[in-house]
């Protein structure tokens, strides 16, 4: 990577505010009295990444909603079939 490319990228990061955010998180980690065992997890959490427990809760909620959707779709199909049967029975012969 050339120096001009590095400088362009650095300016991009500055303008986007990324450098300020990263510096704040690193300073916060530095000032933390009891250093976390996993610095990367700490940084992720400061940047808004969900904790493993939060992630698992979202996955469980998604799975539950997918099951509800499948059940609703099955019920819709059954009701549509029933409507067709009733319409066919109501037609004059």
Rounded CA-CA distance 63/72 in Å is 14
Query: What's the confidence (pLDDT) of residue 93?
Result: 64
Write the DSSP assignment of 73-91 as a string of letters: HHHHHHHHHHHHHHHHHHS
Q: For residue range 55-90, list pLDDT tens digits in order.
A: 999 999 999 999 999 999 999 999 999 999 999 998
Using one digit for the tens of pLDDT, what is the confidence trace for 3-56?
Answer: 999 999 999 999 999 999 999 999 999 999 999 999 998 999 899 988 888 999
Distance CA 60, CA 38 (A): 25
CA–CA distance, 47 with 26 (Å, rounded to integer): 11
User: 1 or 86: which carries more pLDDT confidence?
Assistant: 86
- The contacts of residue 51 (CB under 8 Å, 6+ apart) are 45
Q: What DSSP character marks residue 49?
A: P
């Amino acid at each position: 990577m050339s120096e001009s490319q590095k400088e362009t990228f650095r300016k991009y990061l500055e303008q986007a505010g990324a450098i300020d955010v990263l510096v704040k998180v690193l300073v916060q980690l530095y000032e933390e009295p009891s250093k976390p065992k996993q610095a990367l997890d700490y940084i992720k959490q400061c940047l808004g990444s969900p904790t493993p427990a939060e992630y698992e809760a979202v996955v469980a909620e998604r799975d539950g909603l997918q099951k509800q959707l499948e059940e609703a779709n099955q019920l819709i199909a059954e009701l549509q079939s029933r409507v067709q049967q009733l319409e066919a029975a109501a037609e004059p012969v």
